Structure 1
Amino acid sequence: MTTGEETFPPHTQLANAALAFDQVSVRFPDGVQALEDVSLSLKTGEFVSIVGPSGCGKSTLLRVASGLMQQTAGDVWVDRKQLGYTFQDATLLPWRKVLGNVELLMELRGYAPAERQKIALEQIEMVGLSGFEGYYPKSLSGGMLMRVSLARSLALNPNVFLFDEPFGALDEITRERLNDELIALYLKQGFSGLFITHSIAEAVYLSSKVAVMSKRPGRIVEVFDVGFAYPREPDLRYTPEFSALCGQISKSLREVMEA
């Protein structure tokens, strides 16, 4: 098994990949097969979303990519030294103010205090939270908490960014607004993104590709290209072309769930 911190395989289809899974399987100690022969690659600068039934192993795949979990078979290639990860919950430290939370990962990596404060303030501004540097998490809304979480990971200037359904608990309007902000960050920062969501519309709106995963044990059953140009306007969600693509992905997902 390969973790591939920096060296990518010579295969033509993976040569320019920012993240690649090659026949990755995960079996838990209790015998549950979570993933089976998952093959998926992200080109540099590509944004890919994964949709699938609950419990199919989507979050497990992200944990394998990040190194938090080891696959039991197959290979993973990614540079984990420049990897961002945003969880379903903002996972902020309640005793640290916004500035301190954004500085946290840089502090753990040994950045000098002046450097990490400068970078943190830049990222706080980028996610639209200037003026809230001195606030504690308990004083922030759900959308603001997720912005802090994004800023904390962006501070490390990741080449690859993993998103584990970060907007799932938010109301629809806040979620759509954060989708627009995430696209703006993606275009400005140039990272490759792997995004987990239960919302087909969110997956299509954000992504250049949408992958559909099967029931457990999870495997990739179909990948849809999303041909809409970036940046994307909010009204895209109401076009016939957008609805048609969402319908195709929904049909694929229903077939997976009924199989």
Structure 2
Amino acid sequence: MTDRSGDTATGKVAVVTGASSGIGAATARRLAAEGFRVALAARRADRIERLAEEIGPAARAYPLDVTDRPAVDAFAAAVERDFGRVDVLVNNAGGAFGADTVENGDPADWRRMYEVNVLGVLQVTQALLPALRASGAGTVLVLSSTAAFVPYEGGGGYVAAKAGAHAIAGTLRLELVPEPVRVVEIAPGMVRTDEFALTRFEGDADKAAAVYAGVAEPLTAEDVADTVAWTVTRPAHVNVDLLVVRPRAQAAAHKVHREH
């Protein structure tokens, strides 16, 4: 696909973390369709290997736990060896675990959320930043959440973690302003995927379904992937600092229209 600058993504390389399902998998498919070669990273090797086969020769699968720093460093070296360059990093790996109040929250759940949503973003970005810089027009993209800006009951740990991801994006943008790397943040609101709510509620399908009850059209993973593709294919001098995307039925974090 050609953007307004007249450049194409053909030959450019995008790294997508958390690519085994949901937004990550949809983003990998979409970026490949835009002409990117894609490096798929996630813990579940079988899923990203199947996705790589589906996408074709433009994709390679790399099993990765973004909270494991030696593994992240080895991953970065492998991507540079296999592809020769990195133009875009999509920091998508993340998740919510538990929905307890602050008073009753399990510190282990909070720690898991901080490690994947904050330290995972930090470690992968640090490891790939030299290659992104060397590309001459790199993009670091952070998938945060509208939870980063508006807290809600039962969401304290996730809110804190996504606020941390938001802080990384804003700080990095300031620090890299003289360099050929832009920093984009996309903050989705209500997105219905196969796993996010199920994971949060430890497989309780009824609780997961209640999140979306009565909402005619929550966002889909493909909707978010569409916004990712649009931001990273803008001309190199255009930086989309923050893009908040919600379904029409969600006017704000606390205002959702539900049909009865």
Q: TM-score, normalised by structure 2?
A: 0.37
**Greater fraction strand:** 1
Work out which structure has the larger RCO, using CA pairs closer than 8 Å and 6 or more positions apart in sequence: 1
Q: TM-score, normalised by structure 1?
A: 0.37
